[in-house]
């Protein structure tokens, strides 16, 4: 294919015929108009002082000031782990791929990431101190990504297989850092808020609803009638009720249902309800994946002598989860957005905190600024989830290979 | 470790490997698929089961390793009687290899991993040992260059040969073939039959459901004709193809000739 200049390419894409040209001109005009209006509002009219003054509140709620270093430490650890995993996943050669330290998509991702880290704090006019911290953390992430891609091969294979274990360990460490214990001052869940609470609730529910959902999906297809009907009943009950009713219900009855100490306060009770809620939807997504796998796969595995659990783990589930991955991640994304309902049961998640800010007489009428920041924050989190899932999808596809000789 | 199968491993040539008596099966919708089927397969025999579609031949074959349940009769495989005990079914499946019409290779694993999965997970053998055995087997079926490809990158004939090698990697004492060449393009049928011929020559006990008359003539010890869920005729291939005894057999041979 002859490479065309960008201008000719644009012309062919946008102005191929008279009608195309008309539509293109119309859309470009509309977008420019809207974009300029938004820009003018953001620069001239909007008063970002409300964000600037409440950035900490929106980020972590009423988390004690003198303990916030723990959250910075956690963010730094997360960045390091992300960089390491990213570098090992993408920077290493596969048998069918030549070694490339920075594939094209990764370069785009880095530029976006660095751009966000510089532009967002700058736009929000955070204090220079905080801005510098974000730059450093982003820099560390990129550095770690580069180092892992550059020298990852030097790590022996068996060691590399243990790298994913970093994540559950980090999650446990993160919970300790946030809530205290093990020598750290305790910070009660009622003091967690803002983005911290939102991400904590979402990640807790995502991590737990996944195995629970897989179990329910397998239960629904099980040959044992009690297991099957139990799963069906659970899934249909949960899917038949709005989350908000379940959240209110959970605040009242979860204390009786779960063994003592597992749901001691409102924050954890809400986290469990989110988990149980999302599990039913994940189960349906997984079930659709299971249905897509031909019966011959299980028969072949069983006729090789693999017992049912092993046949499921090694043969059926890897294929079914791959099929169900987009639907599952879709559930995770809506779960993340559903956490905003927590503000309705009185928890100070991102939306709840934002509402307290807007209720402050000092910032009356600054709703647009606050909501816009909220939308951008949510969009960033969801985009990250979506990008991660797409990367995983391509990676899991064995037919996605340059030299496929059919 | 003495499994029930190992206890019978000293059987003399000609010992009974599969014994089915009065096997009856109804499907959930009430369809009477098997109507009292008897069959005895001896060690080293190649038994070819033929018959029109819907005659129950595949269903019968699949009862031998517990893929199909049956309601009446008994089946004893390699000294183990099939029953409700799941551990016994797993014990039988370890000794009985099966090759399917649709290959049923695991598409998310490489060819080599397809072969090594069960020996490593079920027999708990060390990985390097299983891998070298798997590569040997792949060489035997003529596809060792493809060991690190995925099944989707192979032709149908190659996939079926991998499926045979995958079964052999568990070192089975009996091999079941369920129409192994029916889903293949015509030019790939021979390469699969060739592998099966080799296997028969080495003395493997085989039960083969197939429509390949030439294969049956050359390789089979006995040919079984099934129709409407019953065994109609059992005879050595020469006799079966040149001088069938039953009206139903003549009719069937007339149709496929």
pLDDT value at position A229?
95
Dihedral sign for Cα B121, B126, B129, B135, please.
positive
Question: A-side interface with B, Cβ within 8 Å?
Answer: 95, 294, 296-297, 299-307, 310, 314-315, 318-319, 322, 396, 398-399, 401, 404-406
B102: distance to nearest CA of chain A, Å? 8
Q: How many C-beta atoms surround the C-beta of residue B112 within 10 A?
A: 19
Q: How far apart (Å, rounded) are the C-alpha atoms in residues A358 and A352?
A: 10
Q: Is residue B200 part of a domain?
A: yes
Chain B: residue nearest A403 by CA? B153
Calculate mean pLDDT across residues A198-202. 91
Mean pLDDT of all residues in A369-395: 85
Give a yes or no: residue B4 inside a domain. Answer: no
For residue A89, pLDDT beyond 70: yes
Q: Which residues of B touch A314 (CB under 8 A)?
A: 117, 121
What CA–CA distance (Å, rounded) separates B149 from A6?
A: 39
CA torsion B88-B91-B95-B101 (nearest 10°) is 70
How many residues appear in chain B? 257
pTM: 0.82
Structure tokens at B83: 């029953």
Structure token pair of residue B11: 């059987």
Nearest CB to B150 within list A297, A299, A399: A399
* Residue B70 domain-assigned (yes or no): yes
CB atoms within 10 A of CB B180: 27
Instruction: Give the model's pLDDT for residue B112.
Output: 94
Q: Does any domain span residue B9?
A: no
User: Using alpha carbons only, what angle is made at residue B129 by residues B128 and B135, rounded to the nearest 5 degrees?
Assistant: 85
Flag if B105 and A315 touch (Cβ within 8 Å).
Answer: no
Question: Is residue B1 assigned to a domain?
Answer: no
Nearest to A79 by CA among A121, A142, A129: A142
pLDDT band at A1 (very low <50, low <70, confident <90, very high): very low
Q: Between these two residues, A391 and A110, which has the higher pLDDT value?
A: A110
B29 belongs to a structural domain: yes
Helix, strand, or coil (residue A319):
helix
A121-143 pLDDT, tens digit each: 787 777 888 888 889 999 999 99
User: How many CB pairs below 8 Å do chains A and B form together?
Assistant: 73
End-to-end CA distance of chain A: 24
Residue B6 lies in a domain: no
pLDDT tops 50 at residue A401 = no
Position A394 confidence tier, pLDDT thresholds 50, 70, 90: confident
What's the average model confidence in pLDDT over A219-246?
92
Q: Work out the minimum CA distance from B97 to partner chain A, whole angstroms.
A: 7
> At residue A98, does pLDDT exceed 70?
no
Per the structure, how many domains does chain B have? 1
What ipTM does the predicted assembly reach?
0.88
Look at residue B244 and tell me if it is in a domain: yes
> Containing domain of residue B124, as a range?
15-256
Instruction: Supply the CATH number for residue B26's domain.
Output: 3.40.50.300
């Amino acid at each position: 294919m002859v490479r065309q200049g960008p201008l000719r390419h644009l012309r062919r894409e946008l102005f191929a015929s008279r009608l195309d040209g008309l539509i293109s001109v119309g859309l470009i005009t509309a977008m420019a108009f809207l974009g300029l209006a938004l820009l003018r509002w953001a620069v001239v009219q909007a008063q970002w002082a409300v964000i600037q003054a409440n950035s900490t509140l929106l980020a972590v709620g009423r988390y004690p000031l003198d303990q916030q270093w723990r959250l910075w430490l956690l963010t730094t650890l997360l960045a390091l782990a992300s960089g390491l995993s990213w570098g090992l996943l993408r920077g290493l050669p596969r048998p069918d791929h030549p070694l490339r330290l920075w594939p094209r998509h990764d370069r785009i991702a880095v530029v976006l990431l660095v751009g966000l880290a510089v532009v967002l704090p700058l736009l929000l006019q955070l204090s220079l101190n905080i801005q510098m911290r974000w730059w450093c953390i982003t820099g560390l992430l990129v550095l770690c990504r580069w180092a892992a891609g550059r020298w990852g091969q030097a790590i022996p294979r068996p060691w590399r297989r243990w790298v994913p274990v970093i994540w559950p360990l980090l999650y446990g460490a993160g919970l300790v850092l946030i809530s205290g214990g093990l020598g750290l001052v305790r910070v009660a869940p009622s003091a967690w808020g803002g983005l911290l609470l939102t991400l904590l609730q979402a990640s807790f529910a995502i991590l737990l609803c996944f195995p629970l959902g897989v179990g329910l999906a397998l239960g629904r297809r099980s040959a044992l009638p009690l297991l099957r009907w139990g799963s069906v009943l659970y899934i249909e009950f949960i899917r038949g009720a709005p989350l908000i009713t379940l959240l209110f219900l959970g605040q009242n009855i979860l204390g009786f249902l779960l063994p003592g100490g597992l749901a001691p306060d409102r924050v954890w009770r809400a986290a469990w309800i989110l988990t149980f809620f999302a599990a039913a939807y994940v189960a349906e997504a997984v079930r659709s994946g299971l249905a897509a796998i031909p019966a011959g796969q299980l028969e072949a595995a069983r006729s090789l002598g693999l017992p049912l659990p092993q046949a499921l783990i090694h043969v059926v589930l890897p294929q079914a989860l791959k099929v169900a991955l987009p639907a599952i991640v879709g559930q995770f994304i809506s779960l993340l957005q559903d956490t905003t309902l927590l503000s309705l049961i009185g928890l100070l998640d991102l939306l709840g905190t934002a509402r307290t800010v807007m209720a402050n007489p000092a910032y009356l009428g600054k709703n647009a600024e606050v909501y816009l920041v909220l939308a951008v924050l949510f969009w960033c989190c969801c985009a990250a989830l979506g990008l991660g899932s797409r990367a995983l999808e391509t990676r899991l596809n064995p037919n996605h290979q340059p030299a496929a000789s059919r | 470790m003495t499994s029930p199968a190992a206890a019978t491993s000293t059987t003399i040539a000609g010992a009974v490997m599969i014994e089915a008596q009065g096997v009856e099966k109804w499907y959930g919708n009430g369809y009477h698929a098997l109507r009292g089927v008897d069959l005895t397969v001896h060690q080293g025999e190649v038994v070819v089961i033929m018959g029109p579609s819907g005659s129950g031949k595949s269903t019968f074959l699949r009862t031998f390793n517990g893929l199909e349940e049956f309601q009446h009769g008994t089946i004893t495989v390699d000294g183990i009687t099939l029953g409700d005990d799941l551990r016994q079914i797993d014990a039988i499946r370890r000794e009985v290899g099966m090759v399917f019409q649709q290959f049923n290779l695991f598409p998310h694993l490489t060819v080599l991993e397809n072969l090594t999965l069960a020996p490593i997970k079920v027999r708990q053998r060390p990985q390097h040992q299983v891998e070298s055995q798997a590569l040997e087997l792949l060489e035997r079926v003529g596809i060792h260059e493809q060991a690190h490809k995925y099944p989707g990158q192979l032709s149908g004939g190659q996939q079926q040969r991998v499926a045979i090698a995958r079964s052999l990697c568990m070192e089975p004492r009996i091999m079941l073939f369920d129409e192994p060449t029916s889903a293949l393009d015509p030019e790939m049928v021979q390469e699969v039959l060739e592998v099966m011929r080799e296997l028969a020559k080495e003395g493997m006990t085989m039960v083969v459901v197939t429509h390949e008359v030439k294969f049956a003539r050359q390789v089979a010890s006995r040919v079984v004709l099934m129709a409407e869920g019953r065994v109609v005729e059992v005879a050595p291939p020469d006799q079966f193809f040149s001088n069938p005894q039953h009206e139903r057999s003549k009719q069937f041979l007339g149709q496929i000739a």
